Structure 1
């Protein structure tokens, strides 16, 4: 009887702690892994409003000869992703495009783009975004599902993770910036070393190499795989931070 009471007490304590952790911010379920999980604690420590999380995969895929060939590949993609392909692609000048909605809920939006360029090259892009804490685990689940589906197409997944939102900064400051404590937090929590920085009147961008971040930017010899940027609204003075691996690919 006593053992039963103790066990019940432990279960209740565990449940309370779990609920408290979920209420405090954006968290992934236990045992989740990846760059999204690594960036979330840092973002949660500095972002105070308008939080947004985006995960993207972009890669080249099979070249095409003509519109019929492009449509056939679109059909194959739609089969793997369990979608219904439109009969004809959208044509914008000399570019062909199929756009699929993968998810559209109150917490999460996700799309797939299959793009054909005039030279016959192509691009496959998957994007999922959430503005709600309830959507974080959904994004993670989509990543896992897409990893399998991309593998079925013979594609190695290449994830771009970005978290963006407003920070509590000195709105009277004439320059955007990262506080010394935040820069130290980036360095320590993500085991990051600064590689380069760029600054103008309203923006600051710092590139890092992190020893624990999975994704690496393929187009740099400096092994940049982490980027943090702050943009200051010239009218309101509000500062917005963007934290990304391996690089920021949205407006900051």
Structure 2
């Protein structure tokens, strides 16, 4: 079981690295397109998760330069304030880079955790993450309203959100035929064609090119717009389904 969990984490991280995380912050992505992709994902989710799903909505991208610790802390405090989060104090990671993290509950999505994180580099460049983790059962309209509100908070700061949407939920006990049907259902819901896959005895990640999703990253197999992960619990034999655009967001 532990080996499967380690491999599962490795597969998710490997998929992000292979597809090129930096490519995601490149050209040809706009806030309207990202918002449209979020709506496509959440509208399809009802057909794929009959028992509900948990959702992660995340933006990650470059932010303003900050020369010195005081400027970095000020950037973090300013972004935390935009989202109504209490100010925090920067710390240093293992490589000595400054990291700022502020978190709390979302006032508009019940039970959801909201986090603002800023990481800095020696040359003063920074990267901003804004992340909402919503519990299973959260209404899709509330998630869509949150993305619109978050965009309105980010855009005055010069940030055009690039939303990554990750959904997770149970798929029940599946026979080989049922698992095959579920994979076909995922592909059909997004008009998607498989481009790459990774698997072991209990887990499989499939990367797709989707004709319904606009946000994408480059990889060896082409442009990836969608990932789906099928994970079988080795004890109970039930499956969990994770879908994401453009890539599965690793757990915090």
TMscore range, shorter length: 0.7 to 0.9
Q: Under a length normalisation based on structure 2, what TM-score does the superposition of the two structures give?
A: 0.73
Q: Which residue of 1 aligns with 2:101?
A: 99
Structure 2 gaps, min length 5? 1-34
> Residue 73 of structure 2 contacts residue 90 of structure 2 at CA under 8 Å; is this kept in 1?
yes
Structure 1 residues 64 and 178, CA gap change in structure 2 (3 angstroms): farther
> Residue 46 of structure 1 contacts residue 168 of structure 1 at CA under 8 Å; is this kept in 2?
no
* Aligned-partner Cα distance in 2 for 1:46–1:125: 28
Q: Are 1:144 and 2:176 matched, yes or no? A: no
Task: Tell me the CA shift for residue 238 of structure 1.
Answer: 2.0
> Residue 107 of structure 1 contacts residue 135 of structure 1 at CA under 8 Å; is this kept in 2?
no
**Corresponding residue pairs, total:** 214
> Residue 103 of structure 2 contacts residue 116 of structure 2 at CA under 8 Å; is this kept in 1?
yes
> Residue 165 of structure 1 contacts residue 242 of structure 1 at CA under 8 Å; is this kept in 2?
yes
> Residue 102 of structure 1 contacts residue 112 of structure 1 at CA under 8 Å; is this kept in 2?
no
Q: Under a length normalisation based on structure 1, what TM-score does the superposition of the two structures give?
A: 0.73
* Aligned-partner Cα distance in 2 for 1:193–1:72: 45
117, 128, 131: which one pairs with 1:127?
131
* Aligned-partner Cα distance in 1 for 2:98–2:77: 14
Q: Which residue of 2 aligns with 1:160?
A: 164
* Aligned-partner Cα distance in 2 for 1:92–1:189: 41
Task: Tell me the CA shift for residue 104 of structure 1.
Answer: 4.0
SS at match of 2:231: strand
SS at match of 2:45: helix
Structure 1 residues 52 and 209, CA gap change in structure 2 (3 angstroms): same
From the CA coordinates, give the structure whose radius of gyration is larger. Answer: 1
SS at match of 2:173: coil
Q: How does 1:168-247 map to 2 (within 5 A)?
A: 168-170=172-174, 179-217=179-217, 222-247=222-247
> Residue 217 of structure 1 contacts residue 225 of structure 1 at CA under 8 Å; is this kept in 2?
yes
Structure 1 residues 35 and 184, CA gap change in structure 2 (3 angstroms): same
Q: Which residue of 2 aligns with 1:73?
A: 75
> Residue 58 of structure 1 contacts residue 125 of structure 1 at CA under 8 Å; is this kept in 2?
yes
> Residue 98 of structure 1 contacts residue 113 of structure 1 at CA under 8 Å; is this kept in 2?
yes
Task: Tell me the CA shift for residue 143 of structure 1.
Answer: 0.8
CA deviation profile, 1:164-185 (whole Å, cap 9, x unmatched): 11112337x7xxx973322332
Stretch moving more, 216-225 or 197-206: 216-225
32, 54, 57: which one pairs with 1:55?
57
* Aligned-partner Cα distance in 2 for 1:178–1:198: 20
CA deviation profile, 1:171-228 (whole Å, cap 9, x unmatched): 7x7xxx9733223323332111111111112211111111111321256671101111
Stretch moving more, 77-86 or 157-166: 77-86
